Chain A
Amino acid sequence: MIQMENVTYSYEKGYGVKNVNFTIDDAEFAFLIGPTGSGKTTIMKLIYMALFPQSGVVTTGRFRSDKIKKRKIPFLRRSVGMIFQDYHLLRDRNLYENIALPLYVVGARHSEIADRVENMIDQVGLVGKENHAPDELSGGEQQRACIARALVKDPEIILADEPTGNLDPITSFELLKLLEAVNHEGTAVLMASHNYNLIKGRGHRIMEIQQGLLRKN
C-alpha cells in the first residue's frame, strides 16, 4: 500500500508537490498523469524515499517517512521495483548481470539467482539476449530488461516513471500489457505518464497532477 497524507515538497528553484493526498491499495493499478515538470517524478521519489516531505506523511508498505531510520531505507527499496524512462541499465555489464544485481543486493544464493533471472528473462521475452550489453538492445528490449530487473526481487510495488517515454506506440502498448500482467499477479503498480491516449480506457484509476497539485483522483 502507498499512502500520501497532505504531502508537500518544494525545491529551492521551484515547486514540487503541494498538499497531495491519495492511497494506492495492494494489487491496485493506478496511473499518474500530468505534463512534464508537473511533479510526477517528485511523487515517485517521495514514495521510494529519495526525498522526504517537508510536511505530511508518506507511507510505503510498512515504512512511514516520519519514522523511518536512514539505515532502513534500503529495506524499503527492496520492496519497491523502479522502472525509469531512461532505463538505468548498467552499460558495463550484460543483460543477465543487470537483472541479477538486485538479487545479490538482497543476499540470494547463486543457484537461486540463476533460476530466477532465467525465469524473469523468459517472462519478459528476452531469451537469447542474456549476454547482450544494454547498448546492443532496442529501446523496447531495454525497457523490458528494466521491468525484469524491477520484478526479479518480487516487489510489493512497482513504480514506473514514464516507462514508455522513449518507446514507439506499439512497444509502449506491449509494455503496458506486461505491467498489467504483473499487476494481475498481485503487485501494486503506479505508472507515471504524460501520454493520455496510451492509458485511457484501461479500466485503472487515473490521478492527474498539474503544477504539483493533484487535480483529479
Chain B
Amino acid sequence: MLDRALFLFAEGFRNLIRHKLTVFAAVFSVFLTMIIIGSLFIIGKNTNKLIYYLRSKYKIEVFFEADLAKEEALEVVEKIESLSGVRNTTFIDKESATKIFEKQFGENILDYIQRNPLPMSCVVNLNRTGNFELDIMPIVTRIKSFPGIDNIDHQGKLIQRIEAFHSRFTKIFSVVSFGIILITISIILNTIKLTIYAKKDLVEDLHIIGATNTFVKVPFLIEGILQGFIGSLIAFLVLAVFLQIGNNFLTQFSTMTIRMDPAALSWMLFIGISISFIGSLLAVTRFLP
C-alpha cells in the first residue's frame, strides 16, 4: 500500500519533469495569481490598520449654549454618554476651556476680555474597535436633539468618505480575487487536460492492465497540487523580497512600514494548492474516461 502510494506520488512528481512547458504555464499562472491576491491582501491588511487607527481618532465636539447652567450641561453630557456607539465623554467647563486656550495660545484670554467668552463643551469619544463601518451621523443627530446644544463639530463627511473608500476597496478586492481564481482554475484545468491528452497511451495502457480509476487519476491530482505548491511558494518569496526592498525604501523618509501577515505563507500555500487541486480535479473528472 505504501509502495503504491509512493509510486503514485513519484508519478505525479515525474509528470512535472516530463511536461515542462505545460507545467511552466500552470506554475506561472498560480504564481501570478498568488502575487496579485497576495499583494491585494497585504494592501487590504495595511489599509485595515490605517482604518482602525483613523476610527480610534474619531471624535465629536459638542459646544453648549452660553447661558446654559453647568448642572444642565452635565445632565446633557450624561444623556450623550448613554447613547449607543459612544465610548466615553470628557466635559470641559468654562475654566478648563480657559486653561486649554492658554496652553494652546500662551496667553490668558481673561487678560484681554473681562468675561470668559469660551463656552462649555464636551468631547465625545466613540467606540474604537470593530471591523465595521463607523457612521457617526445618527449620533450627531441625536445629540443635536438635546436641549442647550449650540454647535457640534465632527468629521462625519470625511469619515463617510474614508469608510466608503475602504468598503469599495474590499468589494473590488473580493471580486478581482474571485475572478483571478476562476481564470487560474481554468488555466490549470486546461494544462492538466493537455497532460491527459499527452498521456493518452499511458491512461489507456493503465486501464488495460487493470488500474482502477483512482490509480489513474491520483498522479494528475498530485501533479496539480505540486504545481500549486511551487507557484505559491515562489510568489510568497518574491512578495517577501519586494516587501523588504519597499520597507527599506520607506524607512528612509517615514516611520511607516508595510507588514506581511505572519501566516501569509500558510494561507498563500493553502489558496494556491486549493486552486490547483480544484483545477486538476475538474480536469480528471471531465477528461479521463
Residues of A within 8 A of B (CB): 48, 50, 71, 74-78, 80, 82, 88, 90-92, 101-102, 104-110, 113, 149, 153
Q: A110 touching B210 by the CB < 8 A rule?
A: no
Residues of A within 8 A of B207 (CB): 74, 77
Q: A88 touching B210 by the CB < 8 A rule?
A: no
Main SS of the interface on chain B? helix
Q: B7 touching A104 by the CB < 8 A rule?
A: yes
Query: Closest residue to B208 on the A side, CB-wise?
Result: A82
Q: List 5 A-B contacts (CB under 8 A).
A: A75-B210, A82-B208, A104-B4, A105-B209, A107-B3
* B202 in complex: contacting residue of A74, A76, A90, A149, CB < 8 Å: A90
Given contacts A104-B3, A104-B4, whether A78 and B210 have CB atoms under 8 Å apart is yes
Q: Which of B4, B205, B207, B209 counts the most A-chain CB atoms under 10 A from its CB?
A: B209
Q: A90 touching B215 by the CB < 8 A rule?
A: no
* A105 in complex: contacting residue of B18, B201, B210, CB < 8 Å: B210
* A74 in complex: contacting residue of B3, B205, B210, CB < 8 Å: B210
How many pairs, one residue from A and one from B, have CB atoms within 8 Å of each other in the complex?
A: 54
Residues of A within 8 A of B210 (CB): 74-78, 80, 102, 105-106, 153
Task: Determine the distance from Cα of A69 to Cα of B141 in the docked complex, in whole angstroms.
Answer: 74
Q: B212 touching A71 by the CB < 8 A rule?
A: yes
Q: A107 touching B1 by the CB < 8 A rule?
A: yes
Given contacts A74-B212, A101-B209, whether A109 and B201 have CB atoms under 8 Å apart is no
Q: B18 touching A102 by the CB < 8 A rule?
A: no
Q: Which of A88, A101, A104, A109 counts the most B-chain CB atoms under 10 A from its CB?
A: A104
Interface: B54 (CB within 8 A): no
Q: A77 touching B3 by the CB < 8 A rule?
A: no
Q: B209 touching A110 by the CB < 8 A rule?
A: no
* B215 in complex: contacting residue of A48, A88, A105, A149, CB < 8 Å: A105
Interface: B211 (CB within 8 A): yes
Given contacts A90-B201, A105-B215, whether A82 and B209 have CB atoms under 8 Å apart is yes
A121 to chain B, nearest CB (A): 17
Given contacts A104-B3, A109-B3, A113-B3, whether A90 and B205 have CB atoms under 8 Å apart is yes
Q: B208 touching A92 by the CB < 8 A rule?
A: no
Given contacts A90-B202, A92-B18, whether A102 and B1 have CB atoms under 8 Å apart is no
A61 to chain B, nearest CB (A): 12
5 smallest A-B Cβ distances: which pairs?
A78-B210, A77-B210, A110-B3, A102-B209, A104-B7
Q: A77 touching B212 by the CB < 8 A rule?
A: no
Residues of A within 8 A of B237 (CB): none
B141 to chain A, nearest CB (A): 69
14 further A-B contacts with Cβ under 8 Å, apart from A92-B202, A153-B209, are A50-B208, A71-B212, A74-B207, A74-B210, A74-B211, A74-B212, A77-B209, A77-B210, A104-B7, A105-B206, A105-B215, A107-B1, A110-B3, A153-B210
Query: Closest residue to A50 on the B side, CB-wise?
Result: B208
